[in-house]
Chains A and B, each alone.
Chain A
Amino acid sequence: MNAPLTQTPDAKAAYDARWSRIMDCVNLKQPDRMPAVLYATFWLAKYGGISCKELMYDYDKTKAIAERAVLEFEPDACGLMVLATAAGPSLEAIGFKQLQWPGHGVGDNQPFQYLDREYMKPEEYDDFLFDPTGFYLQKYLPRVASAFEGLDQLPVFPGLHYFRLISGIRAFAKPAVRESFEKLVKAAEEVERFSAHVDAWIQRINALGYPLVSGATAVSPYDFIADYFRGATGMMKDLYRNREKLLQLLDKASVFLTRMTIANAKAYNHPIIMIPIHWAPDAFMSQKQFQDFWWPPFRKMMIGLIDAGFVPMPLWEADCTKRLEIIKDVPPGKCIYWFERTDMVKAFEVLGDVVALRGNLSPSMMTTGKPEEVDAAVKHLVDHVWNKGGKLILDCAFGLPDETPVENVRAMFDAARKYAS
C-alpha cells in the first residue's frame, strides 16, 4: 500500500476536477459542486484502531490509515495528514521541549499538546531585534530543543574576521558543541526519513486522484512571538510594558516569516499555505489592539505571499466576527479564510466577494451529535452560504475532532454531495 503509484488517466481527470473546485473557489468562480475537505490529525488513530502513540511513531501504519480514509470518503482535497501526525521520531531525535506528545508527557491515547511558557524573557527583545540569528543559536534553540543545547557555546558571529575568525572557530571543538552537532546530524537523518515518508504519501494520494488542500504552513507574526517566545501572559503584558519593542519585532518578523514561508511553499510546490491563527479572536484583545499589533504585520505578510504567487489560508480560530470588516482588506480572489467558530453566514455576508471560505461544522456536534444533525448542519451552510453564491469549501471547524464517530464523517461528505452537487 505504500509503494509509488503511476497516475492513471481517470485518476488524473479526477484530480484535475477536484483541484479545479478548490481553485475556482479561491478565484471566486462557481465550481461544479461544493468541495469538501478531509483534514484530520489524531482522529486517524481512532479511525485506524491504533493508539495516538502508534500514529506518531509508525510511519507505515499512519500512511496506510490516512490513505484508507481518503479512499473511503473521497474528499475533493485532503490535509497533509501524515506530516501533522507521524512526527514522533523526529521530535524525539531533536529533544523537542515545547510539546508533550503520546509517550512523552501525555498518555499513549492522547493528542500532543503545546506547552505555553516564556521562552524569551522580556529583557531579551533587544537581543532578538539586533541579531535574530545569534539569538536563535545561543539562546532560543537550546531552550526549545535539547539537541541544540551545546550551541550556546558558539561565538558571537557578527564581528568575526581575519585572525578573530581563526580564534572564533575554536568553539566548534568544544565537547558540548560537538555533541550538539552529532545529535543534530542524527536528528536531521530522522527528519529525512520522515520527509521521505511524507513525500511518498503525497505521491500516492495525488496519483490516486486527490490533491492536497495546502502544502506549507506558516504563522502570523503576532502568534509567532506570543506562542513560541513570550508565552500568552508575557505577550499580553508586553502590549503595555514593551509596546515599542514588540512593534519593532512584529515588523521584523513579518519580513523573515514571509521569506521563510515562500521558501517552504516553493519546496512543497503547492500554492496554498495554511496559517493557523491563535490570537485574533474577538475576546482576546480590543479592536484597537488588533489594529495596532495583530493585523498590520500579518496583512503585510499575506500581501508578500500573494505577490509571490501563493494563496494564504488563515484558519481564524475561535470567534472572529468583530474582525471581519478589518480582515476584509485583502485583494479579492487570492485567499481562503477558514473559520472555526465565527458564524459562517455572517462571514459570507461580509467577505463573500473577497475570499473563499472554509469550515465550519461545530466540534461539539461532530463528536456528540447524530448523523442527521451533521446532515442538517451541512444543509444549513449550503442553504445560507453556498446557494447564495458563497465559495465555500466544506470542512469542520478545525478539521475532524479526534473523537468524531465515523458515521458523522460519512454524513458530512454525503450531505455535501446531496445538497451541493
Chain B
Amino acid sequence: MSELNERERQLIEWLADMREDDALPLAKKMLLEDGIDPLHVLGLCRQAMDIVGKRFEEGEYFLPELVLAGEMLELVGAIAKPLIKLGPGGEAKKLGKVLIGTVHGDLHDIGKNIVSFMLDINGFEVKDIGVDVPVKTFIEVINDYQPDVVGLSGFLTLAFDSMKETIAAIDNAGLRNKVHIMIGGGQIDETVRSYTGADAFGVNAVEAVNLCRGWMTAGAAA
C-alpha cells in the first residue's frame, strides 16, 4: 500500500484505539462524501485490525476489544461493501480455508465466534457452521468445502466425546490426512487433545491463528 495521508493514518489509529465515535464518522465521510475507493477504506480497516490482533497477542487487549473491533469492522463494511465495483481479482488471496463449528451436544459459541473473527482478520477464509453440529454435517461440509483446517469447539465436558467421535468419523471417511484438526474451549487441554486424536489444541484465539498459520506455512514449504 502506498504512503498514507494524515486522515488515513487517523482512521487506522482511531479504529485500533477503540475510538468508535471518532472512527466511524470518519470512515463514513471518506466513503460517502469523499468517494474514496471502498476497497482502500477496507484495507485501512484491515491494517487497524492487524494492530488490534497484535495488541491482543501482546496482552494489551482482551475480548472486549476484539468484540468491539469486529463490530466496527462490520459497521464500516456495511457501508463500504455496496459501493464496491466488482473487478477481476478484487479479493485478496486467502491464507487458507478453515471450517469451524461447536461439536454436537454443545450450544456454546462465544469462543468459537472470537476464533472465527481472529482467523478472518488474519487472512483466512472461515466457514462457521454453528453450534451442536452433528458428526455427519462435519463430514458433508468437509467434502464440499475442502478446508485446510477443521476447528472443533466445545465448552462442556461432554464435548470431549463429541470431538472424539467427530474426529473418528473424519478418519473413517478417509478425510483425516486431508485436514489439520484443532480443538478449543474452556476445558480443553493436552489430555483432551490426546483423548480425541486432534492434531493440536489452543486456549485462545491467538493460538488458533498461530496453529493455522503454522500449518499453512509448513504446507506451502512442502
Contact = CB atoms under 8 A, between A and B. Distances in A.
Contacts of A237: 64, 67-68, 71
B46 interface: no
B106 A113 contact: yes
Interface string A268-298: 0000000000000001111001000000000
A387 interface: no
A184 to B, nearest CB: 28
Interface string B161-199: 100000000000000000000000011110110010000
| Dominant SS among interface residues on chain B | loop
A228 to B, nearest CB: 15
B189 A286 contact: no
A107 B110 CA distance: 22
A232 interface: yes
Contacts of B62: 283-286, 289
Contacts of B145: none
B144 interface: no
Contacts of A350: none
Interface string B105-148: 11111100100000000000000000000000000000000000
Contacts of B105: 106-107, 110
A113 B63 contact: no
A113 B156 contact: yes
A367 B159 CA distance: 11
B186 A318 contact: yes
A113 B67 contact: no
Interface residues of B, number: 31
Nearest to B203: A283
A402 B63 contact: no
Contacts of B210: none
Contacts of A363: 157, 187
A362 B191 contact: yes
B33 interface: no
A51 interface: no
B209 to A, nearest CB: 15
B10 interface: no
Interface in A365-421: 365, 367-369, 401-403
A107 B134 CA distance: 13
Contacts of A365: 191
A369 B157 CA distance: 13
A133 interface: no
A278 B105 CA distance: 21
Nearest to B114: A233
A403 B191 contact: no
Contacts, number: 78
Interface string A86-129: 00000000000000100000110011010110000000000000
Contact of A289 (B64, B189, B191): B64
Contacts of B160: 364, 367-368, 403
B20 interface: yes
Interface in B71-129: 71, 105-110, 113
B60 A286 contact: yes
Contacts of A241: 20, 68
Contacts of A367: 157, 160
B158 interface: yes
Contacts of B67: 233, 236-237
A318 B110 CA distance: 15
Contacts of A236: 63-64, 67-68
A106 B158 CA distance: 13
A239 B68 CA distance: 9
A240 interface: yes
Contacts of B110: 116, 232-233
Given A236-B68, A364-B189, A283 B204 contact: yes
A237 B20 CA distance: 11
Which of B63, B188, B191, B195 has its CB near the most chain A CB atoms (within 10 A)?
B63
Nearest to B59: A286
Which of B61, B157, B186, B203 has its CB near the most chain A CB atoms (within 10 A)?
B157
A111 B109 CA distance: 16
B39 interface: no
B191 A364 contact: yes
B145 to A, nearest CB: 26
A283 B63 contact: yes
Contacts of B20: 240-241
A368 B108 contact: no
Interface of B: 18, 20, 60-64, 67-68, 71, 105-110, 113, 156-158, 160-161, 186-189, 191-192, 195, 203-204
28 contacts: A100-B107, A107-B105, A116-B108, A116-B109, A116-B110, A232-B110, A233-B110, A237-B64, A237-B71, A240-B18, A240-B20, A240-B64, A241-B20, A283-B62, A284-B63, A285-B62, A285-B63, A285-B64, A286-B61, A289-B62, A317-B186, A363-B157, A364-B191, A367-B160, A368-B160, A369-B191, A402-B157, A402-B158
Which 5 residue pairs of A and B lie closest in terms of their CB atoms, listed nearest first?
A236-B64, A364-B191, A401-B157, A236-B67, A368-B195
Given A285-B64, A289-B64, A368-B192, 9 more contacts: A100-B107, A113-B108, A233-B110, A236-B68, A241-B20, A284-B63, A289-B62, A403-B157, A403-B158
